[in-house]
């Protein structure tokens, strides 16, 4: 992780600012972060994945369908570039912005970090009653986790108890 980046400050900011529920709030973000940690390969930037977990839903208008929340959040994080995201390199910031912007509209990018972000979010679709499907995952690890999702839920370290699973 980047030595000058303060992930705890970003988490505290996100959790304090956006009081979203189980579907798109802190419990979901924590599961996305854990999923991202498990999906990360050596080519991935784990700092970017962790930031994505706490910012990707930051500009949702509701828990319903909102395909534009990704592009809105990508614009919003520009306001955080010199504060909560100041420890990111320009390359990390660009990856984060692209991942956030495209997570609602793209299936896959071929960029390991961004695809891991997409899959980290998709692996938590079970919270809305959608069982992750291997063909809808962007990374090889994501496809493997989705193909064996029941086992993944047991071993991921994510708390699915509040979801009744």
Question: What is the full DSSP assignment across 55-99?
Answer: HTTTT-S-SS--TTHHHHHHHHGGGGTTTTTTTS-HHHHHHHHHH
How far is residue 52 from each of residues 61, 147, 163, 164, measured CA to CA in Å? 18, 24, 22, 26
Q: What's the pLDDT tens digit per position in 41-62? A: 999 999 999 999 999 887 666 6
The reported pLDDT for the residue numbered 127 is: 84
DSSP 125-165: GGGGT----GGG-SSHHHHHHHHTHHHHHHHS----GGGT-
Residue 29's nearest CA partner among 151, 117, 121 is: 121
C-beta separation of 77 from 69 below 8 A: no
The reported pLDDT for the residue numbered 2 is: 46
Task: Supply the DSSP symbol for 124.
Answer: T
Instruction: Supply the pTM of this predicted model.
Output: 0.90
Place of tokens 């990018």: 109
Residue 117 scores a pLDDT above 90:
yes
Average pLDDT over residues 11-40: 81
């Amino acid at each position: 992780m980047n030595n000058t980046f303060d992930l705890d400050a970003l988490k505290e900011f996100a959790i304090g600012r956006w009081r979203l529920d189980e579907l798109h709030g802190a419990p979901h973000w924590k599961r996305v972060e854990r999923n991202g940690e498990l999906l990360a390969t050596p080519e991935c930037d784990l700092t970017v994945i962790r930031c994505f977990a706490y910012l990707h839903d930051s500009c949702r208008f509701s828990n319903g369908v909102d395909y534009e929340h990704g592009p809105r959040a990508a614009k919003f994080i520009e306001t955080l570039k010199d504060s909560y995201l100041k420890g990111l390199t320009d390359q990390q910031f660009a990856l984060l912005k692209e991942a956030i912007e495209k997570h609602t509209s793209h299936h896959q990018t071929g960029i390991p970090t961004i695809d891991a972000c997409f899959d980290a979010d998709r692996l938590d679709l079970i919270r809305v009653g959608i069982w992750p499907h291997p063909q809808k995952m962007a990374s090889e690890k994501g496809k493997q986790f989705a193909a064996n999702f029941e086992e993944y839920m047991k071993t991921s370290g994510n708390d699915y108890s509040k979801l009744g699973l």
